[in-house]
Amino acid sequence: MEKHNTARKSSCGGKRTTGKLTIGLDLGDRSSRYCLLDEQGEVIEEGSLPTTRKGLDRVFGAAGRCRLAMEVGTHSPWVSRYLARLGYEVIVANARRVRLISESSRKDDKLDAKTLARLARIDPELLSPIRHRGVQAQADLMMIRARAVLVQTRTALINAARGLTKSYGERLPSCATYQMGKDQAELLSPAIRAALEPLLAEVETVTERIREYDKQLEQLCQTRYPETKLLKQVHGVGTLIALAFVLTIEDPHRFRKSRAVGCYVGLRPKRRQSGQSRPQLGISKEGDVIFADAVGARSAPCAGPVWERQ
């Protein structure tokens, strides 16, 4: 249910004071908080709305088009695209780079929405804005993410099977991950074989699903992303890494120099002090998590430069 707590009696879809308005939107999984500021920076409206298209339409559909800031997160890709179609100037903030938001001792949804609105009103660059990838690229990258979940699931199942076998004083034979299945339990004692065969059957099923994803990803490379063929000429680069790289970059013309691509995916050195020319501090470990995992660079939350895409 939508709730309003307005500083001045008004409604988002109704008549507002004239002048330049700024909105801060703190997205939540089921409900979100918003704060509306006037040209002088005074709060003229606050409230909550369901994080759904109907909820956004109810509050922002009939509103005057203005600047709107939100944090990057699970819902920010589709919400930002939806509000942009309604005519808003949408800014997606990388909150991990805004200490006023990420390290606030009074952090809550209502205050975050107000902080976003105030920062967007003063200078959008203070929010370290990011740009989400397109709808099609997000859908295609989702296939790589879904495949990664299956690979993690298969690893967990195999580790569980090997651990249970060892606790019984026996061992599963060594083999490649994709070869693990019910056949590997044939040399085990009947008691433990009966317990592990259903588990190993699930491993076979997951392996088959992974192979289906591999075929779909290969088809994507051939039909929609032919540029991956050039990348696969590099030794050690296969379909998965090439496609993850292309979908992470998406638009190479955004980079003025090719050297900037490495910084974009997090392969840049940390800088402890601006006066140091080339500090030996290791890479920043920032960038797109899926591509970094694919190349084996690291596994960490996303946090990247201005043009980072989620």
Same domain, 102 and 168: no
Q: Which carries the bigger pLDDT value, residue 158 or residue 269?
A: 158
In a domain, 232, yes or no: no
Query: What would the pLDDT profile of 199-258 be if each residue is shown by its tens digit?
Result: 999 999 999 999 999 999 999 999 999 999 999 999 999 999 999 999 988 888 888 888
Tally the domains of the chain: 3
Query: What would the pLDDT profile of 50-102 be if each residue is shown by its tens digit?
Result: 999 999 999 998 666 799 999 988 899 999 999 999 999 999 998 777 777 76
Same domain, 126 and 152: no
**Residue 292 pLDDT:** 52
In a domain, 239, yes or no: no
Confidence band of 29 (pLDDT split at 50, 70, 90): very high
Same domain, 162 and 267: no
Same domain, 9 and 110: yes
In a domain, 240, yes or no: no
Same domain, 24 and 119: yes
Same domain, 188 and 287: no
Last residue of a domain, one of 130, 163, 196: 130
Q: Which carries the bigger pLDDT value, residue 288 or residue 300?
A: 288
Task: Note down the domain range covering 211.
Answer: 135-225
Query: What would the pLDDT profile of 160-197 be if each residue is shown by its tens digit?
Result: 999 999 988 999 999 999 999 998 888 889 989 999 99
In a domain, 304, yes or no: yes
CA proximity to 130, closest of 84, 76, 82, 198: 76
Last residue of a domain, one of 79, 95, 130: 130
In a domain, 37, yes or no: yes
Which of 29-43, 128-142, 214-228 is the least confident region? 128-142
Same domain, 124 and 7: yes
In a domain, 79, yes or no: yes
Q: Do 199 and 157 contact (CB within 8 A), yes or no?
A: yes
Helix (H, G, I), strand (E, B) or coil at 45: strand
Q: What is the percent of the chain with per-residue pLDDT over 90, rounded to a whole number?
A: 46
**Strands across the sheet containing 43-50:** 3-4, 43-50, 31-37, 22-26, 67-71, 89-93, 129-130
Same domain, 119 and 145: no
Q: Is the predicted pLDDT of residue 16 greater than 70, yes or no?
A: no
Q: How far is CA 201 from CA 148, 179, 217, in A?
A: 20, 12, 25
Same domain, 13 and 118: yes
**pLDDT average, residue stretch 115-144:** 89
Q: Does the model's pTM come out above 0.75?
A: no
Last residue of a domain, one of 130, 148, 172: 130
Confidence band of 264 (pLDDT split at 50, 70, 90): confident
**Residue 284 pLDDT:** 57
Same domain, 182 and 290: no
Same domain, 74 and 125: yes
CA distance 259 to 265: 11
Same domain, 90 and 143: no
Note the maximum CA span of the chain: 80
**Residue 80 pLDDT:** 93
CATH number at residue 64: 3.30.420.140
In a domain, 197, yes or no: yes
CA distance 37 to 116: 11
In a domain, 165, yes or no: yes
CA proximity to 27, closest of 97, 63, 87, 80: 80
